[in-house]
Amino acid sequence: MADLRADLEAYLQQRGAAEHVSAAALSVSLPDQATTVDVSAGTTGSGGSVPVQPDAPWQIGSNTKAFTSVLLLLLQLEAERRLSIDDPVSRWLPQYPQWHDVPIRRLLDMTSGIPTYDDQPAFLTDQAADPLREFTQEELVGYVVGAPATSGYSYSNTNYVLAEMIIERVTGTGYVNQLSARLLGPLGLRDTYYRSHLYPPGTLGRLPAGYYTRTDEPELSPLVGRDVSRDSLSWARGAGGILSTTADMTRWERALYEGWLLPPQQQAELMSLVSTATGEPIEATSPDDPRGFGLGVAQVTDALGTFWFYEGQTLGFRFLHAWFPESGLIVAMGLNSRADEDRIGVLATTVYETLVAHGLAEPVPAGTGA
């Protein structure tokens, strides 16, 4: 545990100024252990003195997408024969005729051709003008109605807002109700939360500050250097609005990847991949085609081998998890900034090497990866 904490402390020392990051947390889950190894480093705010706690919640960003996909796959609802992920969007959302022939599956694997609203200058301008604004689902989707279609694989948060809307249309209840009743409650994820707009003070009081420091989105320049952790997450919703601890997320990832949540057919669909380079189906990633996207999950082949992972980002946070199927090792980590230079992958590699040194992870064979 001391060496893992040292990894976090070294990252903050080396990258704190460049990334305007003051806090880091990490949980490690081993397949034969009922408890996780949880460590943290740094302070809850830049220049502050309050240590960040290992059980602090983080904005997990697009790690939320797997929760949304699972709700669509029993993709909880399909297993109950209430919908098929091959249904066209128009069956459930006829108000968007321009996407009438897009299957739900293509929303989830990012090959729908529907652009993402958070690349639209009009949306970014509106977001910066009022960070506490509550964006409705319809408003978010409205930013891309009439926008040119994308091609192949193209990452789009619009896809998952539409998926959230379909969940609500099929069930007749809100996304938060479905999430709580089907996933958070049954799995005992007591430190995982979802609100479509503002979180209550009791939850926010445990959250580190989160800093936006990117310089490549001029519309968001009013937010640069600000603590945006208390702003509305209504812009992210079912695409990226969940808060969780690193420990809760390792529990969720184990249930997700090891088939605790879905029947075999739906589990296979969840983990069916398209190449992020071509948008075409692939069996698995490889050094020649190293990144693949499933239904809200992702696989990579790199220097650590072939494994499943996701890095989610909000305006003020980065959150990464990785599951190594051969060993069953899971790691989850959070940082409290969104910066031009993102080295969280380097931190993950350092953590893995520390676990190898302690005999808690398998050494990667020479020549493995890209």
* CATH code of residue 112: 3.40.710.10
The first and second tokens of residue 73, run together, are 């796959």
Report if residue 369 sits inside a domain: no
Q: Is 343 within the bounds of a domain?
A: yes
Residue 290's domain comprises 2-357
Question: What is the predicted pLDDT for the residue at 288?
Answer: 97
Q: Tokens 């604004």 correspond to what residue?
A: 133
Identify the H or E element spanning 291. strand 291-293
Instruction: Tell me, yes or no, whether 210 lies in a domain.
Output: yes
Q: What is the pLDDT of residue 369?
A: 47
Please state the domain count of the chain: 1
Distance CA 82, CA 152 (A): 29
* 294 domain-assigned: yes
Q: How many Å apart are CA 292 and CA 274, to the nearest integer? A: 5
Burial string for 45-78 (b: 16+ CB within 10 Å, else e) reads bbeeeeebebebbbbbbbbbbbbbbbbbbbbbbb
The first and second tokens of residue 111, run together, are 């090959």
Residue 83 banded pLDDT, cuts 50, 70, 90: confident
Q: Is residue 362 part of a domain?
A: no
pLDDT at residue 192, rounded to an integer: 98
pLDDT of 362: 86
The model's pLDDT over 17-33, given as tens digits with 9 standing for 90+, comes to: 999 999 999 999 999 89
Nearest residue to 195 (alpha-carbon basis) of 238, 149, 151: 238
Residue 366 lies in a domain: no
Instruction: Map residue 332 onto helix, strand or coil.
Output: strand
**Predicted confidence band of residue 101 (pLDDT cuts 50, 70, 90):** very high
Counting residues of the chain whose pLDDT is more than 70, the rounded percentage is 97
Q: Band the pLDDT of 343: cuts 50, 70, 90.
A: very high
Query: Which residues are within 8 A (CB) of 293 and not within 5 positions of it... i.e. 6 or more apart?
Result: 109, 110, 153, 273, 274, 276, 299
Residue 368 lies in a domain: no
